[in-house]
Amino acid sequence: MMELYLKSLLGGWGSAILDFMLDQPSVVAGLLLVWFAIFVAGRLQLRRIEQKSAELVVTMARELLVTQPDLTPEGLYEQVYEPWRARVSQWALFIPHRLDLWPVPVTAKTVQQKLAFSPDWLVEVLRRHGLLLEKSERVAHVK
């Protein structure tokens, strides 16, 4: 009874697809397995991008603090953004879309949607790696 109700809601094409799904569960399972593998690969690549981005930010922050001790997060972001944007597409092939339903190619824009690469993100990364934001809005080494 529920199947007939669903078919009436789905129409001609939808009911044909539903019939195929019910008649060929191994094909449907195979397609879902492929989609899941692509999803996991995209998540792993996004994690790699996040790690590489954090390494780049920490390395550049340490180098810049030597020459610019009064560096602000916004100033650091401005200096890190271009090298990050140039390298981010080399770190992976694709990542999940912001809705996590399909893969999208790696560009600075798509990664920023998932990673929220911003001055605030930089501050959090620096805190995790021993570089803190002082009350005077400067980045300083803790030790």
Instruction: Tell me the three-class secondary structure of 2-17, residue by residue.
Output: HHHHHHHHHHHHHHHH
Half-sphere exposure of 20 (CA within 13 A, CB side): 10
pLDDT at position 111: 94
Structural domain spans, the chain = 2-141
Q: Report the predicted TM-score, pTM, of the whole model to 2 decimal places.
A: 0.79
One digit per residue, the tens of pLDDT, for the chain of length 143 reads 777 777 777 788 878 888 888 899 999 999 999 999 999 999 999 999 999 999 999 999 999 888 888 888 888 999 999 999 999 999 999 999 988 889 999 999 999 989 889 999 998 999 898 876 554 455 555 44
Exposed, middle or buried: residue 53 (CB in 10 Å: 0-12, 13-18, 19+)?
buried
* Tokens 């180098």, residue located: 63
pLDDT at position 10: 77
- Among candidates 8, 2, 136, which has minimal Cα distance to 73? 136
